[in-house]
């Protein structure tokens, strides 16, 4: 758990750095902060309008690119070959859509209404749509895939309610039911998908070890798609990937892709 939390915090730091470096509110450019004693009065209207302007710019760019083609490139990444040949059969897919509620660099005392829409959610919906997920399912056809949406290590319960469940809400084909047992021996139905159903009744158990999601062996794939806001690189996105297992052995990579001439080009792999 400690290693994963560290990786997650590193991602958060990466997001903050990108936010401050590029299109989010630039603290140095804000002129409407009036000091009142030791507190500050922040121009919420201007802040809201800046977020709105950023979103509209990012959304317009998103409408001009083809994320299905990007998903095709994503699914062919060589790092996934390690997952395919790994003997572990349980693959926990964690597409991250967490929205940071407080802008990096802003005083936490500032309580301004945020712009209602966020490009991260739009990216998630377009990237992990039904068609793309079923491509993903075919790529990892020898795995039992359990999508857990949101912050890593969220409970199965939150994800398995029908209205929240990724597989049910997207009407994914080849979906099966399993049984998840918590530490109080309470059993909960959960859903998983697989092109090759190998286990009639897949049973999973919550681990007593807080470093693990399950008692069983598994692979955990964490994915986040982020806009790369740089006027010199339009239509460019980061794909952040973290792969780990029940032994907390993990590695992470960031891939930078640009959509140009109706195709995606890999600009950077780090």
**Residue 231 in 3-state DSSP?**
coil
Phi and psi dihedrals of 253, rounded to 5?
-145, 155
- What pLDDT score does 153 carry? 54
In a domain, 176, yes or no: yes
In a domain, 105, yes or no: no
**Shortest CA distance to 258 belongs to which of 241, 226, 240, 233?**
233
Radius of gyration of the chain (CA): 20
Contact 217, 228 (CB under 8 A): no
In a domain, 108, yes or no: no
pLDDT beneath 70, residues of the chain: 1-42, 98-110, 150-155, 197-200
pTM to 2 decimal places: 0.80
Which H helix or E strand runs over 187? strand 187-193
Q: Which domain holds residue 253?
A: 2-100+115-269
- What pLDDT score does 113 carry? 84
In a domain, 79, yes or no: yes
In a domain, 53, yes or no: yes
In a domain, 55, yes or no: yes
CA separation for the pair 214, 178 (Å, rounded): 14
Number of domains the chain is built from: 1
């Amino acid at each position: 758990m400690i290693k994963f939390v560290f990786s997650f915090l590193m991602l958060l730091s990466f997001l903050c750095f990108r936010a401050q470096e590029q299109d989010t509110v630039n603290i140095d450019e804000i002129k409407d902060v009036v000091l009142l004693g030791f507190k500050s009065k922040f121009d919420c209207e201007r802040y809201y309008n800046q977020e709105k302007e950023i979103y509209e710019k990012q959304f317009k760019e998103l409408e001009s690119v083809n994320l299905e083609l990007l998903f095709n490139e994503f699914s062919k990444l060589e790092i996934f070959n390690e997952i395919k040949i790994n003997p572990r059969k349980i693959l926990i897919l964690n597409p991250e859509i967490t929205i940071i509620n407080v802008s990096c660099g802003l005083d936490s005392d500032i309580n301004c209404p945020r712009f209602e829409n966020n490009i991260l959610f739009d990216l998630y919906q377009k990237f992990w749509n039904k068609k793309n997920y079923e491509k993903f399912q075919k790529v990892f056809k020898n795995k039992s895939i359990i999508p857990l949406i949101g912050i890593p290590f969220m409970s199965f319960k939150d994800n398995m309610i029908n209205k929240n469940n990724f597989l049910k809400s997207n009407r994914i084909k080849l979906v099966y039911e399993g049984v998840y047992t918590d530490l109080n021996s309470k059993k909960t139905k959960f859903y998983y998908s697989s092109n090759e159903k190998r286990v009639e009744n897949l049973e999973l158990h919550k681990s007593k070890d807080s470093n693990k999601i399950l008692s069983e062996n598994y692979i955990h794939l964490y994915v986040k798609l982020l806009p790369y806001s740089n006027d010199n690189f339009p239509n460019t996105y980061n794909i952040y990937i973290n792969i780990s297992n029940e032994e907390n052995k993990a590695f992470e990579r960031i891939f930078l892709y640009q959509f140009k001439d109706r195709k995606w080009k890999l600009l950077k792999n780090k």
